A and B are shown apart, each in its own frame.
Chain A
């Protein structure tokens, strides 16, 4: 194929009209307080796995809630379930339950 020096990219746009909320809603059942996350990043700041990998609990569940969960399960595998994030979360979200839920649902 002739290389014209440009290529096309998949749209980065998140179209909320097309997001399937069924699976994220399923995840909320693990711990309903997840809905009240304020995105402070306390979890990811405390995360032991984040020192060595690009694992980010806050980003992971936020992406899932926006319908971006293709690689969610793979991401959740990076978590070592140490629970430091649960201890630091100002909303008291049971983060380990959410991680287990992601592994099960997605």
Chain B
């Protein structure tokens, strides 16, 4: 029997598996996709260093292979049986769905997050108007090395909208997703680097540069790349006859309504709970936060512990985090799991 089932092979899950092996514990990763890396694997570069996301995933994957860690792909976990500590999952290969379950001595939930579905903010017209993309879409475009409007032109003016799906009672997401601010700064900087002479605007409510090196990035975007930061939440977007996008907001620093027409708009989408969090939570009697992420025993010294014996959390499954925080919490979770297993 495995010591730990790790649900989700993102950066938190991978780090947890590697840490577990170092403590001579036997982990298995259940990953729903056909590769490891989770959301980070879909990113082009990482803040605050602008280093390659792929390289990080490759480094972690090399350790997964080196440590002969078992990984099962295409496994979507839908439930947890808390008495026998087993997980119920569907093996999705093509159209074939096979239901199965797996038992272990402990379970670590590293299901990460689901990006906010920008279509819900109807006033932003995502997938209704042309040339409106999410921050995830932009990462994919950057990966391909092609930043083009729908008409196939290089955009000369781009506007970022912060807090899409975060800090918003209208759609029921009260929380701050934390990393969108710095993602906006990173992507704005990269667009300035990739597109010579690009005019880039960031419409923000508050700039929350919480991590080490983030504030420096913000200053550099202002100073060296002339990114224009405008303090105002965009009220609505509309399409012009030539497929550009018109934004309306208030420039709150001068108390005047402001409008601008740009070639492309990027919505900085926040973090929501992973799709199966609800069914997993319900089956195991785990408490979810209002934002769909898992609520730990307390917010200080037990962020990796759930209220159920033998079930632990790490990464964005517990609360919005950047990569280093997710990986640190994963190591912490393994330490807690090790203590738990020894006490049994």
Residues of A within 8 A of B (CB): 33, 38-47, 50-51, 56, 58-59, 84, 87-92
Within the assembled complex, what's the spacing in Å between the Cα atoms of A8 and B123?
Answer: 48
Q: How far is the CA of A33 from the CA of B258 in the complex (A)?
A: 26
Measured between C-beta atoms, what is the minimum distance from A54 to chain B in Å?
A: 8
Question: Smallest distance from the beta carbon of B295 to chain A beta carbons, Å?
Answer: 22
10 contacts between A and B (CB under 8 A): A41-B249, A41-B250, A44-B252, A45-B249, A46-B235, A58-B255, A84-B235, A87-B170, A88-B123, A91-B169
Contact of B72 with A by CB under 8 A: no
Q: Is the CB of A58 within 8 A of B235?
A: no
Smallest Cβ distance from B171 to chain A, in angstroms? 9
Interface centre among B232, B234, B235, B251 (most CB of A within 10 A): B235
Interface centre among B167, B232, B257, B258 (most CB of A within 10 A): B257
- Is A44 in contact with B170, judged by CB distance below 8 angstroms? no
B163 at the interface (CB under 8 A from A): yes
A45's partner among B168, B170, B232 (CB-CB below 8 A) is B232
Residue of A nearest to B204 (CB): A40
CA distance A77 to B100 in the complex (A): 65
A-B CB proximity, top 4 nearest: A41-B250, A46-B235, A45-B235, A40-B233
On chain B, the number of residues with a Cβ less than 8 Å from chain A's Cβ atoms is: 22
Task: Say if the beta carbon of B243 comes within 8 Å of chain A.
Answer: no
How many pairs of A and B residues are in contact by the CB < 8 Å rule? 72
* List of B residues within 8 angstroms of A47 by Cβ: 250, 257
Within 8 Å of chain A (Cβ to Cβ): is B308?
no
Closest to A92 in B: B169
Any chain A CB within 8 A of the CB of B205? yes
Residue pair B252, A46 in contact (C-beta under 8 Å): no
**Contact status of A44 and B250, CB under 8 A, knowing A38-B206, A59-B255, A88-B123:** yes
Distance in angstroms between the alpha carbons of A40 and B258 in the assembled complex: 13
- With contacts A50-B257, A88-B123, A90-B163 taken as known, whether A40 is within 8 angstroms of B252 at the C-beta atoms is yes
Give, as a whole number of angstroms, the nearest-CB distance from A18 to chain B: 24
Residues of A within 8 A of B251 (CB): 41
**Residue ID in chain A nearest B259 by CB atoms:** A45
User: Can you name the residue of chain A whose Cβ is closest to the Cβ of B252?
Assistant: A41
Apart from A33-B169, A42-B234, list 9 A-B contacts with CB within 8 A.
Answer: A39-B252, A41-B250, A43-B250, A44-B257, A45-B232, A45-B258, A50-B257, A89-B170, A90-B205
Residues of A within 8 A of B232 (CB): 40-42, 45
Interface residues of A, dominant DSSP:
helix
Within 8 Å of chain A (Cβ to Cβ): is B74?
no
Chain B residues with Cβ below 8 Å from A84 are 235
In chain B, positions 120-170 with a C-beta closer than 8 Å to chain A are 123, 163, 167-170
Chain B contacts with A in 178-236, Cβ cutoff 8 A:
205-206, 231-236
Report the bound CA distance from A7 to B233 in whole Å: 40
Q: Is the CB of B248 within 8 A of A45?
A: yes
> How far does the Cβ of B326 sit from chain A's closest Cβ, in whole Å?
26
A31 to B123, CA, bound (A): 24
A90 x B250 contact (CB < 8 A): no
CB distance from A89 to the nearest CB of B (A): 7
User: How far, in whole Å, are A41 and B162 apart by their CA atoms in the complex?
Assistant: 13
Asked whether, in the complex, the Cβ of A90 is within 8 Å of the Cβ of B255, the reply is no
Residues B167 and A88 in contact, CB atoms below 8 Å apart: no
- In the complex, are the beta carbons of A58 and B170 less than 8 A apart? no
Bound CA–CA A16/B42 (angstroms): 51
Tell me, in angstroms, the Cα distance from A46 to B124 when the chains sit together. Answer: 13
Name A42's closest neighbour in chain B (CB-CB): B233
Once the chains bind, are A46 and B248 in contact (CB under 8 Å)? yes
| Docked complex Cα distance between A33 and B206 (Å) | 19
Partner of A90, one of B168, B236, B249, B258: B168
